[in-house]
Amino acid sequence: MYTWRGEFKRYLLIFAVVGIVSYFFGVLLPSLLILTLILLGIDLLQLHRLQKWLAIDHASDKSAPPESFGVWGGVFDGIYRLQKQERRASAHLESLLNKAQESSAALEMGIVMINRHNNLDWWNRASESLLGLRHPQDRGQSITNLIRDPQFHEYFHSENYDDPLKLNAPGDSTQILEYQIATFGKHERLMIVRDITQLHRLESMRKDFVGNVSHELGTPITVIKGYLEAIIDNMQDLDPKWQKPIQQMHQQSTRMENIVRDLLLLSSLETKHRPKPQDSFSLSSLLSEIRNDTLQIYKKKSHNFTLECDASLELLGDRGELYSALSNLVVNAAKYTPANGTISVRVEHDEESLTIEVEDNGIGIDVQHLPRLTERFYRVDVSRSSETGGTGLGLAIVKHILMRHDGELNIESEIGEGSCFVCRFPQTRFRQSEPAVESIPQESSADTTTESPSTTH
């Protein structure tokens, strides 16, 4: 191993020997000059050899660098060592890449890599059969030129890939594909495409089945309930021992009717298109209607009901659906709050979102039940629900309707203290209507657009 210090000593020694000898012969300066030129020549020669060796194509010719001595020998060896290390690392990388490509080729789902210019970089074999991509002609093509569906374009450019997109396969309307995109690196995208035709078929069969069964059960239940009501109207003619069973039969048939009604509503929510934010309606009048209807049903409980909502606020969506969702929450508050309890409905908003809070000081819900509360038929306490005629579908309906309006539901509750159900809508789903200029005196416009909190007993 040569070191700089050793090399320096060697040079010093040569110069000293040549200097002393040439001094005796009286040719010091020319000798030193010749010696310097010789050493320079040797260095230039080594540089030339190194440059020649570097110019070789090392991918095909793996020959070692030329033999050398001194520091140059160390330089040649160092470069050769580095080159070997790099060759090993790239072989490892190549084998990893091959493995990744082979394993993704075996997958049934399509994997497509799209660069930051939206062009195709790489795709696996399944993508060719699912999307009709051709190898290698389509490399570098824009993905939006190859998948021309406007819904795909909207999804691709939205850059919001939280939910997957379901679409008919390009060129085959019988096949349903699910697209899921993830971004990585410098705005590059990885697109995963799955064939969900079978899954979609089963899901539609399930929805149709629930819809059809509910529909078919509707008529017999109405008939049974009708007869029971007729019997109850003539209860005095009935043997007293039948009176209680008939009452119970009537109660249960009402529950069955409610379950069928809720199942039908859920199945229609699942099959209908999402309501577009085009239709608008006054939120305060919707909430007043819900308050009045609920107070009418539960008037015996004499609840203390407060409603706070800015009269100029408008929701954008389906009024009927939002009536169902919000009235479910308010009716639940009334159902699960004892007589003389308090129910408050508050609406707040800022630039970004609007929240509707339905709060009560009723029996409350144990925290362990909160995550599962919006599941179908999930009930905290079966006896509690049958007493109140609940179906266990109400909150599932609420969640579904809110989702269809880009909203979300949060629940806070404490057993014995009461509950608070918060519906949050994004800024795209509400607006503040402009007050009619001529009908509103300028100095009091703020007051006229705000419905003052009302308390109803």
Please state, in angstroms and rounded to a whole number, the distance separating the CA atoms of residues 289 and 306: 13
Tokens of 420: 């608070």
Q: Which stretch binds ligand ADP (CB under 6 A): 68-76, 104-112, 230-238, 388-396?
A: 388-396
CA distances from 164 to 344, 357, 446 (A): 38, 30, 43
Contacts with ligand ADP, 417-436, as mask; x by CB under 6 A: --x-----------------
In the complex, minimum distance from the CB of residue 298 to ligand ADP, in angstroms, rounded to a whole number: 12
Residue 390 engages ligand ADP in binding (rule: CB under 6 A): yes
Q: Is 357 in the site for ligand ADP (CB under 6 A)?
A: no
Distance CA 418, CA 344 (A): 11
**Does position 336 bind ligand ADP by CB under 6 A?**
yes
Does residue 317 interact with ligand ADP by CB under 6 A?
Answer: no
**Contacting ligand ADP (CB under 6 A), which of 120, 365, 409, 423?**
365
Q: Which of 373, 401, 402, 423 binds ligand ADP (CB under 6 A)?
A: 373
Q: Is 384 in the site for ligand ADP (CB under 6 A)?
A: yes
Q: Are 360 and 333 in contact (CB under 8 A)?
A: yes
CB of 251 to ligand ADP, least distance (A): 15
Q: How far is the CB of 345 from ligand ADP (least distance, A)?
A: 12
Alpha carbon separation from 42 to 3, 56, 69 (Å, rounded): 18, 22, 11
CB of 293 to ligand ADP, least distance (A): 16
DSSP 3-state of 266: helix
Spatial distance between the Cα atoms of 210 and 214, rounded to a whole number of angstroms: 6
53 half-sphere exposure, CB direction, 13 A CA radius: 19
**Region of 120-128, 314-322, 326-334, 438-446 interacting with ligand ADP (CB under 6 A):** 326-334
Tell me the HSE value of 442 on the side-chain side, using a 13 A CA sphere: 0
Q: How far is the CB of 306 from ligand ADP (least distance, A)?
A: 16
From candidates 193, 287, 333, 345, binder to ligand ADP by CB under 6 A: 333
Stretch binding ligand ADP (CB under 6 A), from 128-136, 198-206, 298-306, 363-371: 363-371
In angstroms, what is the minimal distance from the CB of 281 to ligand ADP?
24
Q: Please calculate the CA angle 35-40-46 and round it to the nearest 5 degrees.
A: 130
392 lies in the binding site for ligand ADP (CB under 6 A): yes
Q: Is the peptide bond before 136 cis (omega within 30 degrees of 0)?
A: yes
Strands 408-414, 342-349: pairing is unpaired
Determine the straight-line distance between the first and last CA of the chain, rounded to whole angstroms. Answer: 99
| Cβ at position 111, least distance to ligand ADP in Å | 40
In degrees, to the nearest 5, what angle opens at C-alpha 86 toward C-alphas 85 and 89?
90
Residues at the site binding ligand ADP, with contacts judged by CB under 6 A: 328, 332-333, 336, 360, 362-365, 373, 379-381, 384-385, 390-395, 419
